[in-house]
Chains A and B, each alone.
Chain A
Amino acid sequence: MPEDSIITDEMKAAIGVDSEPSVYEIEAEPIRRWAEAIGDSNPLYHDEAYAKSKGFRSLIAPPGFIANYAFPVKSGGGGRRSFRSPFARMLNGGNEYEFFKPIQAGDTITATSNIADLREREGRLGKMLFIISETTYKNQDGEIVAKARGTGISY
């Protein structure tokens, strides 16, 4: 690693360390609001009777909902709590999602995150730190419902 690397030993030690869990109580109204905010009128996300007619317990969450919904009842701080970036600004570089089971209103989802990787790059605006975090979401039965991977660009 070059001498002027911004990735400290303290940062490296944070890789792979799971955060405290965040707990999300999934409810119908936030699902509706989220679907309305993106402009998706699919009745599975709005109409409870319709969702039930398709075999679900209640409304189901749209793809990406759990990864992009930041109101956990109990916040575990996510993977970044264990160190501080030397830069003040942050941009979202990318998101990936994997879906295993539908998330339904009435579920309680527990999420744990960790920093999967740290990379540095020289860009137009100077040095940048790429923070790759991974989050695993489980429902109240302990089943993995989704996984998400995000790239934060700190600069």
Chain B
Amino acid sequence: MAEQLYWEDVQEGSQITPLQKNATTQQLVRWAGASGDFYQIHYDKDFALNNALPGVIIHGALKSAWLGQMLGDWVGEGGRIKSYGCSYRGMDVPGEDLILTGTVTKKYVDGDDHVVECDIWLQKASGEKTTPGTGVVVLPSKA
């Protein structure tokens, strides 16, 4: 596991440690089972094609779960995620190399909390950001 990140270690513009993903159709089936989202566009290719989609597509909620994993890994056990959100602007499909990352936009102290705000997103290998969002986390302080 990575060393604990501290509030003093990040600045505006700092990058969030990227998380790489490449989904398989089997993973989408696992996600359907684990989440209960059995919408056929995620595992039934004919159904997806009949719905004007390029093929089976990755569940939006799975992408948001990956963003949560990225933030959780970055803040470590000493930090916590206050909130985050994202919009599903583009479709992503199994077999594509995907990167989840972000940049720090603001840092400040709010009472006992050392807060960091970020832009977060999922992007394809081409750099196209299909899933933009924001996050607010609390990091431990060395002070």
Which A residues have a C-beta under 8 Å from some C-beta of B? 30, 33-34, 36-40, 42, 44, 54, 62-65, 67-71, 89-99, 125, 149, 151
Please judge, given known A-B contacts A36-B30, A37-B33, whether A94 and B60 are in contact too, CB under 8 Å. yes
Contact of B60 among A39, A44, A92 (CB under 8 A): A92
Contact A64 B36 (CB under 8 A): no
Rounded to whole angstroms, the CA-CA distance of A65 and B33 in the bound complex is 13
Residues of B within 8 A of A62 (CB): 65, 68-69, 72
Q: Which residues of A contact B84 (CB under 8 A)?
A: 63, 96-97
B71 contacts A by Cβ under 8 Å: yes
- Please tell me if the beta carbons of A40 and B69 are within 8 angstroms of each other in the complex: yes
Q: Are A39 and B21 in contact (CB under 8 A)?
A: yes
Shortest C-beta distance, B48 to chain A (Å), equals 12
Q: Out of B31, B64, B68, B133, which one reaches A37, CB within 8 Å?
A: B31
Across-interface contacts of A149 in B (CB, < 8 A): 85
Query: Beyond A38-B69, A63-B72, A92-B61: 15 further Cβ-contacts under 8 Å?
Result: A37-B27, A37-B35, A39-B27, A40-B69, A42-B69, A65-B65, A69-B34, A90-B39, A93-B60, A94-B86, A94-B133, A95-B61, A95-B85, A95-B86, A96-B84
Q: Which of B38-82 contact A (CB under 8 A)?
A: 39, 51-52, 59-62, 64-66, 68-69, 71-73, 77, 80-82
In angstroms, Cα B36 to Cα A42, docked, is: 22
Return B54 CB to nearest CB of chain A, in Å.
Answer: 14
Residue pair B85, A96 in contact (C-beta under 8 Å): yes
Interface size range on B against A: 35 or more
Which B residues have a C-beta under 8 Å from some C-beta of A?
A: 21, 27, 30-31, 33-37, 39, 51-52, 59-62, 64-66, 68-69, 71-73, 77, 80-88, 133
A63 with B68: CB separation less than 8 A = yes
A37-B33, A38-B69, A63-B68 known; A95+B60 contact, CB < 8 A: yes
Q: Determine which of A38, A65, A69, A91 lies in contact with B66 in the assembled complex, contact meaning CB atoms within 8 Å.
A: A38
Residues of A within 8 A of B60 (CB): 91-95
22 A-B pairs within 8 Å (CB atoms) are namely: A33-B34, A36-B30, A36-B34, A37-B34, A40-B69, A44-B77, A54-B77, A62-B72, A63-B68, A63-B81, A65-B65, A68-B35, A68-B61, A69-B35, A93-B60, A94-B85, A94-B86, A94-B88, A95-B85, A98-B82, A99-B83, A151-B87
| CB-defined contacts of A40 to chain B, threshold 8 Å | 69, 72
How long is the Cα–Cα vector from A96 to B67 in the complex, in angstroms? 11
